[in-house]
Amino acid sequence: MQLPGIQYWFRVMALWIFATAVNSAPPAQLIEAKNLNSDATLARQANIPIVLLFSQQHCPFCHQIKQEILGPMIIAGDYRGEILIREIFIDPGVQVIDFEGKNTVARTFANRYDVNLTPTLLFLGPDGRELSERILGIQTVDMFFYYVDQSIKQAITELSRSQVKNG
């Protein structure tokens, strides 16, 4: 019986290093919504909807949706140039500039949209209007990407329709 050669062990070691690096890589970071008025201007110029994640720092389901759904979606380039993704933290003391350009408490802003649960995903037009059905919480991870994908497609379609009506 012949023992594996040095090339074999080199390949095994290289695969192990690669697997370790991939599994320990940090998830893609969502951009925190600090100025929705500016974000709305970007979305309006590009004619794209805004996907807004309402989140909290100590919400395990919020971390799960970022790590297992939105992060991989960003890394893969899904919807690049078709949507603007932002995260708004509704923890105490967090401030945000709303769609009208007014500084407000993030929790108060969430109340305007009747957001009482995190994570909540809204699919908004540049005017702040909801374009498709919101997603509350995280149901089954296996189907969650499908629900997000469908809501994004609906938001893109609805935004295009409203542009045709108003244009």
pLDDT tens for 55-79 read 999 999 999 999 988 998 889 888 9
Q: What is the pLDDT of residue 162?
A: 79
Question: Where does the chain show beta strands of DSSP type E?
Answer: 31-32, 50-55, 84-89, 95-97, 103-105, 120-124, 135-136
Please give the angle made by the CA atoms of 2, 5 and 11, to the nearest 5 degrees: 135
Q: What is the pLDDT of residue 63?
A: 93
Domains of the chain: 31-166 (3.40.30.10)
Q: What is the pLDDT of residue 145?
A: 87
Q: Tens digits of per-residue pLDDT, 16-47?
A: 454 444 444 455 688 999 999 999 999 999 99
For residues 86-102, average pLDDT: 96
- Residue 54: which pLDDT band, with cuts at 50, 70 and 90? very high
Q: What is the pLDDT of residue 59?
A: 95
